[in-house]
Amino acid sequence: MKTKNIVLIHGAFADGSSWSSVIQRLQKDGYNVTAPQFPLTTKDANLTRLRQVLAIQSGNTLVVGHSYGGEIMTALGDDAPNVVGLVYVAAFGLDQGESISTLPSQGSPSPAVANLRIDAQGFAWIPQDDFVKYFAADVDPDKANIMYAVQQPILASSFGEVMGTPLWKKLPAWYLVSKNDKAIQPDLERFFARRMEATTMEIDSSHVAMVSHPDTVSDLIIRAAETVAERVH
């Protein structure tokens, strides 16, 4: 039986509008799609928003996370009664005891996040040139500049928050690796996918595949929704 509810989680430096083209495709195919805005402050605040959204879904739900959105859905742990599958789109898939800031380094910081600006409140922003050139490298520059203008900063201290029990240990997962990612290193994405034994595909894309390749991302989400097993409660 196909899972009809899909919740989309945006990542850092983005908002729910980054899923616009994917939402349009999924809605045309009859899915009930929700893509809320997340505060990107603390893990608890992000989880509160996600649980709020999951509570209004009627029936089983597939959750999809991009970038830091993977961190949010992973942190649901064992308490996600209506979630039946996870789709990671160039996203963090941490294990218990890990934080983003303690992940193994693979050389210099990725270009998209090498020059983050930290404001007086402790929130991190990507400078415009880096956003357009690296974060959204394969997006039309006019559109990439709009994405820059509406970017949602993330509380920098959240990168040090430690993961509890990861939800991917109990649910089937899918992973889309962006081979040209300049925000999260592609080899790190492959590591996450292998470790969670996810059904994996790779695409020639920047970090924001849902913007530059919405059909591919939609196809993966639909495939997951059609094949995920119904959970028995």
Predicted TM-score (pTM) of this structure:
0.96
**Domain count for the chain:** 1
Residue 93 lies in a domain: yes
Residue 113 lies in a domain: no
pLDDT at 4: 94
Residue 141 lies in a domain: no
Q: How many helices (H) and strands (E) does the chain have?
A: 8, 9
pLDDT at 107: 62
In this structure, the dihedral spanned by the alpha carbons of residues 117, 120, 124 and 126, taken in order and rounded to 10 degrees, is -40
**146-164 average pLDDT score:** 97
Residue 96 lies in a domain: yes
Enclosing domain of residue 204 = 5-105+161-227
**190-213 average pLDDT score:** 98
Neighbours of 205 (CB within 10 A): 24
Residue 18 lies in a domain: yes
Q: Do β-strands 173-178 and 199-203 pair in parallel, antiparallel, or remain unpaired? A: parallel
Residue 9 is part of a domain; what is its CATH number? Answer: 3.40.50.1820
pLDDT at 233: 38
Per-residue pLDDT reduced to its tens digit, 18-58? 999 999 999 999 999 999 999 999 999 999 999 999 999 99
Residue 78 lies in a domain: yes
